[in-house]
């Protein structure tokens, strides 16, 4: 069966407040996400978003899609995320891609997070399983 579309949906416009909240909630206080001076000293254009924050938006998109299109209670049973390009405060992040039905219980989604320029910042392969 050919993959079907998961429409792109805007998940967030990244702000420094997102990065501060995520640092606190996740325990990842790496200064490249929080301190402009440190980020620049490390050769980055400025502070960058935690990759896992974007991964959180991608898994949220997969679950929302699964909930709308599936039957019953679902969970992400597998997720593989590749961080391809940096995400900066001000970036507008949308997530979409394709899905296919692997079995009556398992859907496979290939999703990408894109910034406002249409560049793929993050890609993910996700299995959503019906419990």
Partner 1 sequence: MGPFTEVVNAARVARFQISVEDSNIQDVPPTFLTVFRKPEFDLFQSLGVELKRVLHAEQEYRFERPLRIGEELTYQCRLANVLEKKGAQSFLSFLVIETEFFSGHEAGTQARVAFSKTTVVVREPI
Binding site for partner 1 (CB under 8 A): 11-12, 18, 21-22, 24-32, 38, 41-43, 50-53, 55-57, 59-60, 63-64, 66-67, 74-83, 131
In the complex, what is the shortest distance from the CB of residue 15 to partner 1, in angstroms, rounded to a whole number? 11
Residue 54: how many CA atoms within 13 Å on its side-chain side? Answer: 33
CA distance 63 to 76: 7
CB of 2 to partner 1, least distance (A): 26
Burial of 2 (0-12, 13-18, 19+ CB in 10 A): exposed
Q: Which is nearer to partner 1, 1 or 85 (CB)?
A: 85
Among residues 67 and 119, whose Cβ is nearest to partner 1? 67
Q: Of all helices (H) and strands (E), which one includes residue 63?
A: helix 51-69
**Dihedrals phi, psi of 120, to nearest 5 degrees:** -75, 120
- Distance separating alpha carbons of residues 123 and 43, to the nearest angstrom: 24
Least distance (Å) between residue 67 CB and partner 1: 5
CB of 3 to partner 1, least distance (A): 21
**In terms of CB distance, is 24 or 119 closer to partner 1?**
24
């Amino acid at each position: 069966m050919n993959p079907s579309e998961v429409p792109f949906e805007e998940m967030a416009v990244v702000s420094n407040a997102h990065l501060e909240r995520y640092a606190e909630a996740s325990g990842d206080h790496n200064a490249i996400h929080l301190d402009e001076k440190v980020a620049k000293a490390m050769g980055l254009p400025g502070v960058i978003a935690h990759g896992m924050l974007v991964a959180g938006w991608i898994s949220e998109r997969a679950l929302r899609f699964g909930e709308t299109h599936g039957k019953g209670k679902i969970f992400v049973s597998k997720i593989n995320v590749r961080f391809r390009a940096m995400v900066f405060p001000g970036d507008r992040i949308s997530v979409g891609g394709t899905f296919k039905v692997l079995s009556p219980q398992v859907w496979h989604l290939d999703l990408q997070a894109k910034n406002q320029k249409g560049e793929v910042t993050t890609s993910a392969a996700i299995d959503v399983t019906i419990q």
